[in-house]
Amino acid sequence: MISRSKMVFGGAAVLLVTGVVAFFLFRGGGPEKQNFTEIRVEKGYIRSGVSTTGVVEPRNRLKIQSSISGRIEEIHVDEGQLVRKGQVLALLSSTERAALLDAAKLQGDKELSYWKNVYRETSVIAPINGQVIVRSIEPGQTVTTSDSLFVLSDRLIVKAYVDETDIGRVKIGQNAVIGLDAYPEIKVKGVVEHIYYESHLQNNVNIYYVDVIPETIPDVFRSGMSANIDIIVSEKNNALLLPSSALQSRKGKTVVRQKSLAAKDGVIYKTVETGMQDDTNIEILHGLRANDVVLVQDTSFALPENNGGSNPFMPQRNRRKQ
């Protein structure tokens, strides 16, 4: 019968042999060979810009108050409604008229009708063309001259918060793309209209307000909504593009890898000059031409050589099928 000590010794020996075999299999008897993915230089669109956040708000916010104290009789507009300058927004009775009508009502419809025609309501008039963004009253409500009845906006804009390190790149007239946190699928084009002169301290950082005017105002836009703004500083079509990961710094120069049969390891480093850069790609100004092939080190794990794999960090349109 096999003793317990022999069984333990045998198991340890098996584990040791397995470990040695695995070590040499993975080591391959020499230095590990690097895997590369081939990608081509392509022509495409690229832009650089300033990305920041902001808020939707009225460009001109006009609060309308009553000229007299009294009672609201009729309301002719709702929130969100567009109004014209001079349009009647509401009718109200002065305190005296309200008391007189209440007394006349006790005497019958004829008496009430008489005083309504003799003593007319006071009209609340829109002073500008705009949109009703706040309606603070209801029929029958008593108001004073200090109460806000409506708030009008001539139009909604987006106020962007630009860091002082980026404000030098922002100019009036630059195009922008606006998105909302509440509706990320909606993108609206806009234009930089005004850059404020005074800075504001926000989270210990100096920021400048920048007014961006949307080309259109979707129905979902609401005052106070958080916005994401991409201000386009420069853009170019038919630029030579490579993924940013294809470039590296070597001896103070920007280089890319290319195949070379003459090189010892089959790779040479070619110096390039770059231009604009976005979140994914970088523009090649000099050193490469369209369809030139460069090598990008494959950083994925456990991918054997020539297995047709691709670098997961490369944009899909720049991957080349093996």
Domains in the chain: how many in total?
3
Q: Which domain holds residue 88?
A: 62-153
Residue 131 belongs to some domain of the structure: yes
Residues 163 and 230 in one domain: yes
Distance CA 125, CA 116 (A): 20
Q: What is the pLDDT of residue 135?
A: 95
Q: What is the pLDDT of residue 13?
A: 56
Q: What is the pLDDT of residue 155?
A: 85
Q: What is the pLDDT of residue 203?
A: 87
Residues 72 and 147 in one domain: yes
Give the CATH number, domain containing residue 249: 2.40.420.20
Residues 53 and 106 in one domain: no
Give the CATH number, domain containing residue 213: 2.40.30.170
Residues 224 and 256 in one domain: no
Last residue of a domain, one of 193, 217, 235: 235
Give the CATH number, domain containing residue 100: 2.40.50.100
> pLDDT for 162-195, tens place per residue?
999 999 999 999 999 999 999 999 999 999 999 9
Answering whether pTM is above 0.85, one says no
Distance CA 225, CA 178 (A): 12
Residue 2 belongs to some domain of the structure: no
Residue 16 belongs to some domain of the structure: no
The band of 302, judged by pLDDT with boundaries at 50, 70 and 90, is very low
